[in-house]
Structure formats: C-alpha cells, structure tokens
Structure 1
C-alpha cells in the first residue's frame, strides 16, 4: 500500500494520485540529476512523530540547495491527507513511513515538484530493532573538516543523492553485515548511511551518551536530538565527539538511531563483537518510545 499526495497550489490539502501510475516527468531534475531533498519520519496511530523537527530540517536542506519548496503549512496539510488515506486503506496498521520529497522540478520550468509518500514500515526494519546490527566501517572519502571548507558539498543537507549511501549498504550486505558506519579520511567516526551513531558508558552509576560532532559534516539527527534532550532530563551526561573507531570498541554499548528504525543495537563492528547492554538499551528504548 502506497499513498501519494502531490503538493499542488490548486488543491489546498494536496492532490491524491494513483501510486500505480506514472506521476513524475522523465525530465524532472530529481530523476535526471538527483537534484532535490527529502525527509523520512514515522507516524504512529495516524500522528507524525517529530514533525516540526523534520520540517525545520527540510527547510534547512532547501536553503542549502537554494531550492524554493512549499511552506510548512502546505506540507502539514498534505501529510494529514496522506495519513488519512493510508489509515482508511490499512486500518490494522498502527505505524507508517511518511516521506516528504521535493525536486527542482522539470528542467527549464523553475518550479519545484513536491509530494508526500506514505508506506507501511518494512518488516525487516522492525526486526533489526530486536536482532541488532552487524556493521562495517567504511571510509567516506572526505576528512572531517570538509563541510566547513566546502559548503557546496552539502554534507549537512538531506538530499536525494543517496546512491553512495545505498551502495555502501549493498557492500555491507555482500560482506555479511547489515549496515555501515562511515569514517572520515582523518579517522573520525561520522554516521550511518541512514542513521546517527550513539555510544554509551556507565561508570560508577554515571551514564554518558555520546554522538559524533555535527561539525564533522554529518546530518543533524532529529531522533538523536530528541533522545539527547530526554536523556539529559533523566540525568545522563551528554557528549558530542570527536569520536574515533576505538571509542566504539571501548563503549559499553553502541547503537544506530533513525526516525523509522528507531534505536537498534550494534552487535559487531568489522566482525568483532561489541559489548552490549540490555539494561541501557531498555532504558533508552523507553525514552525513544516516549519522546522520540
């Protein structure tokens, strides 16, 4: 079941289209050049989670791309339309993946193409939360300061140009792993292709939650940010890198977190088993369920 709702000025609440029929022009710059952006978020019981954070990040990505997209109100209305249609068609499903997509539009037209897509959460994604992830380190090919030196590389924007990210995941699967953590050419831990890296220490009753620093050119994680805010209220210390691979091997637990998969423990890195903590995972999962 896929629901598509195009943001159309002639339709205040969005225009529902048939997802089984072609909808995108072959000359759309999103298709021909990957020139566009997207956001993915989770909806539970018909309500989108962290919507304002995702809309804020979408606006930041649009600014980085110098791309004019519909305003937040138009996105909210189209999302409501898509979720209402999805719930009517799939009343037994409690959760859904909501994607917000915008491209630079048809070449020469100077008007963005924007739509909302609603799908069920894949069963494999749900399973990884329970089973954990076998992960490989892969070098991304940039040093950790490139985002500050070369903003045109759009390192902190969520663009449609995900071919490298998906190639990295395929490489991992071809080598017996589930996912990837990118590292910089100067040896810093960055992020997963579709996730943010977290690690924790529990020392003498003081729990510390850490993530790589944003200045290294990673995407600001909406789930990581919400979890950090909740963990701080529960007495956790917070840290923002810089992190190197040995920090993950030395941690009491490591996770990848994202808006759809949520919190998934990393059980091995490059074939080496990591320490895991059922207690810490349970505590953070509860915070994710309540606040993320």
Structure 2
C-alpha cells in the first residue's frame, strides 16, 4: 500500500527553543525513493518507531506515543528526540489523513554507517479495516519467548522494553500462530509468566477485576492499554498490573488484545480453550477507543 503522505525530519536537539519547526521538515513523494541504501534501519533494523492511530484526522494519544518514543531512544542509545518537533510533524501528517481510520508511523533510525545520524521520518497510511475482528474476535496460542521472566533485568542490551524496528521475531510468531490454526499469539516466558502479544497488549477480566501483565523490562508498555485502564477507572472499575502465570489464562472471564490501530480485539480462544466473548462491553470499549483522545 502506497503511503498517503511522507515527511523527512531533520532532527532537532531536545533543548531547541524554537516554536516553529517547519524548516526542519521536507515533504517527499511517498511513492518515491527517499532513504540511502546504507540506511541502518533497513540493513539491521537499528531504530525505533511508533504507530499512532488516527480517526477522522485526529491523531490519538500523541503524548503517550511521544513519551514512549523518547523512552525507546534512551534504551537504544539513540539521540533524544525533540518531542515538540515530532508533535508538529505528527500534526502535519494527521492533516493529510482523510475521514475514517489511518495510521501515522514515527520512525527514528541510527542513520548510515559513518554518516549523518540519526535519520527520521513520518508516514501516513489508511489503516486496515479491523471492523470484523473487533466483533468476532481472535483465537490465540501461547508461544515461548525464549527467555525467563528475569532476563530483562539481567540483560538490558536485549532492548526488550523498546519499540524497535527489529520486528522479524514478532512477525514470525504471528505466522506460527496461523500455522497452528489461530489468528495471533501471546508470548510467555520459559518460567511460565505471560508477557504480551507480538503487536498488542493483553487485558484480562477475572471477576470484576481488569488486569494486564506488569510492565517490566520485558514488556512494551502499551499506550492503548494505558488509555483503556484510565477509562475503566473513570467508571469505578478495578484495574491491576501483576505477573500473570500462563495457567491463569484459560480461567479469564473475558480477554482482549489492544493496540493503537486494531483497537480492542476480543479473545475467543487460548490454546484451544474457549474464552467468553462479552460483545456488549467490547462494543463500548471500541466506541471509546474510536472517540477523540489526547
């Protein structure tokens, strides 16, 4: 799919005092070549990104995405992004998104070997149509992530808390899930602790409690999950972060995968065990996620 819009950014320092960053942006043809063949994002996946959902031209949860971009940059030893510059660039991209749902990608790369660094750009695309999956739900399987739950603290160089461009493992996990007759996957540790899905956060309902895996170094703290918990708490509902043993998953009274573009997809089956689908609550949840959110 060809992007609607693409913008190259000349990254400003985080303490740049200017109020107008227009001169640091270069609009480019989204269908034309724009990056060097030496670009390390394509050669090594050496960079970070964010996917910002857009509804009717309104970019959702921009601050949360910018905060996570900065956090990922810190973990990956990339230059700290100027968040006001990226906010302005996101607004420009959102202005080129028409009615309906779109997705803006913010990308910050280490650049090229022995060359100017970093490289930064933004794209805007129509979002896939997830209407059906938000209603019928997804079947998931648990897949071992290949390390125990204490590894993130022992090995920070694995960059497990950063949203990096190195998504080959995530995509391989989804392909494996489909080979097993499911739609998606949930990563688990070798010692039986639940992490997250390859491209989404997990929320479970047990009784009247909504819970999600504790945001340790091995989990990318989801912007949509944060927004959902805030919405739940506004309604007086209880939320909790904690370690979730894998054997608790089939005991959930309801479950969802939540992300910025797919929004809330109810889980109907985990490793072959059926999970109740709360259609009325899911519809209200997605109605909230489709409303303008800053």
Same fold (TM over 0.5): yes
Q: Which aligned pairs between 1:188-227 and structure 2 lie closer than 5 A?
A: 188-202=193-207, 207-215=208-216, 217-227=218-228
Q: Which segments of 5 or more consecutive residues in structure 2 lack a partner in the other structure?
A: 12-20
SS at match of 1:155: coil
Give the Cα separation in 2 of the matches to 1:25 and 1:147: 33
**Is the Cα contact below 8 Å between 1:12 and 1:77 reproduced in 2?**
no
Q: Which residue of 2 aligns with 1:168?
A: 173
Q: Say whether 1:19 aligns with 2:25.
A: no
Give the Cα separation in 1 of the matches to 2:242 and 2:37: 43
**Is the Cα contact below 8 Å between 1:13 and 1:78 reproduced in 2?**
no
Q: Which residue of 2 aligns with 1:103?
A: 109
Shift of 1:216: 5.8
Q: Say whether 1:233 aligns with 2:234.
A: yes
Q: Which residue of 1 aligns with 2:191?
A: 186
Give the Cα separation in 2 of the matches to 1:120 and 1:208: 35
Q: Which aligned pairs between 1:132-143 and structure 2 lie closer than 5 A?
A: 132-143=137-148
Give the Cα separation in 1 of the matches to 2:96 and 2:231: 32
Q: Which residue of 2 aligns with 1:90?
A: none
Which piece of structure 1 moves more, 212-221 or 191-200? 212-221
Normalization by structure 2: what TM-score?
Answer: 0.90
**Is the Cα contact below 8 Å between 2:52 and 2:260 reproduced in 1?**
yes
Give the Cα separation in 2 of the matches to 1:80 and 1:239: 33
Normalization by structure 1: what TM-score?
Answer: 0.91
CA deviation profile, 1:88-145 (whole Å, cap 9, x unmatched): xxxxx3221011001100111141111111000112x333212210111100001111
Q: Which residue of 1 aligns with 2:261?
A: 260
CA deviation profile, 1:264-283 (whole Å, cap 9, x unmatched): 10011122221222243244
Structure with the bigger percentage of helix: 1
List structure 1 segments (4+ residues) > 4 angstroms apart after TM superposition: none
SS at match of 1:215: coil
**Is the Cα contact below 8 Å between 2:55 and 2:292 reproduced in 1?**
no
Q: Which residue of 2 aligns with 1:115?
A: 121
Shift of 1:237: 1.1
Give the Cα separation in 2 of the matches to 1:264 and 1:128: 6
- Number of residue equivalences: 282
1:115–1:152: structure 2 CA closer, same or farther, 3 Å change rule? same
Give the Cα separation in 1 of the matches to 2:57 and 2:287: 21
SS at match of 2:142: strand
Q: Which residue of 2 aligns with 1:77?
A: 88
**Is the Cα contact below 8 Å between 1:12 and 1:74 reproduced in 2?**
no
SS at match of 1:167: helix
Which piece of structure 1 moves more, 231-240 or 98-107? 231-240
SS at match of 1:266: strand
Give the Cα separation in 2 of the matches to 1:283 and 1:217: 30
Q: CA RMSD in A?
A: 1.8
